[in-house]
Amino acid sequence: MAVCLVTGGAGFVGSHLVDALLMRGHQVRVLDNFSTGNLANLAGAWDQIELISGDLLDLELVREAMQGVELVFHQAGLASVPRSLADPPSTHHSCATGTLHVLMAARDAQVRRLIYAGSSSAYGNSALLPQREADPTQPLSPYAVAKFAGEQYCAAFTHIYGLETVRLRNFNVFGPRQSAGGPYAAVVPLFLEAMLAGRSPVIYGDGLQSRDFTYVDNVVQANLLAAEAPRVAGMFYNVAFGRSTSLLDLLDTINELLGTHLKPIYNSPRPGDVRHSHADISRAQIDLGYCPSIDLKQGLRLCIDSLLREREPSKSKNGVSKQRMPAPHRRPPVVSARAGATGTQRENVFGT
């Protein structure tokens, strides 16, 4: 089995990928700075992984994390259009410069293949639907530009240095562990959090904008296939379910699943948001064998079940209801990064 590095492995998609790799018997190393990742996402894997706490902007740390690695799943990055509008430099450093560092370290460590988490935002407001890989790109936000720059770096490193890279353009991923907290949360967790609490969700615009919502297990499947498929080095693929859904239809589906009749609160459209998103996934189906198995309604049901389990109280010995707490796990060794300019030495930190 392979030694795999998952950047952003404590994040939403990254942690699901960690679980899948461990189930297949791989040795997994995670590199995450926990700016958006959550250690709780790795609770079930603490005794099976090596966890490195640090930032992709620390090139020497990335080089150390890359030692002995065969496969890299590059999931790290600040994944938010609104956040990129508020703070373009942070998004650029995280998504573009961070990707360059990962590629440099992977090249020097002679990694077999790197799978890059790209974004459907590269297509912008394309008039061509469904969106195909051959369509022109027109990124509209700093986030879209930075993620597309990462794609181009991958292509260049394959062409110039022979490093095998496969780029996956993810379309509106959703699923358990996706945070609804903070001002930059995605639409599905925001809708679910509000509607489970009996509140009307907020829609920016008229609600007719559409997205190709993709359940996280489908994205994990695409990553695993891209890591092993022959003759795909240098290629890029749409990863989606292949069906477009408006935000109003998303609202109706959640109402149906919850048995509610909530109406939306409308707000002004947000700058940088695309109008429609709908992927043609035929290239990934042919080249990778990709076959998304969980559609929007099934995925929403799984998300709701997961959220309800998290909130479900359990009984204590004296019969008093109490909030269920995560089962204790032994934490893995966490390697603390140097604090950049301070020059603080790295150390192994063990917890129980």
Is the pLDDT score of 346 beyond 70? Answer: no
What contacts 159, CB < 8 A, 6 or more positions away?
234
Under 8 Å between Cβ of 125 and 274: yes
User: What is the CATH code of the structural domain delimited by 3-173+215-242+278-294+323-349?
Assistant: 3.40.50.720
Burial 331-342 (b: 16+ CB within 10 A, else e): bbebbebeeeee
Q: How confident is the model at residue 320 (pLDDT cuts 50, 70, 90)?
A: very low
Query: Does 343 have pLDDT greater than 60?
Result: no
Question: What integer best gives the mean pLDDT of the chain?
Answer: 89
184 is catalytic: no
Between residues 127 and 97, the one the model is more confident about: 97
Residues 6+ apart with CB under 8 A from 23: none
- What average pLDDT does range 21-33 have in this prediction? 97
**Is 134 exposed, middle or buried, given 0-12, 13-18 or 19+ CB atoms closer than 10 A?**
exposed
For residue 218, what is the enclosing H or E element?
A: helix 216-228
Task: Give dist(CA 122, CA 143) in Å, integer.
Answer: 9
- Ranges 23-37, 48-62, 308-322: which has the least confidence: 308-322
Predicted confidence band of residue 334 (pLDDT cuts 50, 70, 90): low
Q: 116, 123, 143, 290: which one is catalytic? A: 143
C-alpha distances (whole Å) from 151 to each of 87, 155, 235, 279, 290 are: 21, 6, 10, 18, 20
With 60 as the cut, is the pLDDT of residue 191 above it? yes
- Residue 324: the pLDDT is 37
CA distances (Å), 207 to each of 56, 204, 267, in order?
Answer: 37, 7, 10
pLDDT in tens, 58-109: 999 999 999 999 999 999 999 888 899 999 999 999 999 999 999 999 999 9
Domain ranges of the chain: 3-173+215-242+278-294+323-349
The number of residues making up the chain comes to: 352
- Report the candidate in 117, 139, 168, 120 with the shortest Cα–Cα distance to residue 12: 117
pLDDT at 207 over 90: yes
pLDDT at position 341: 31
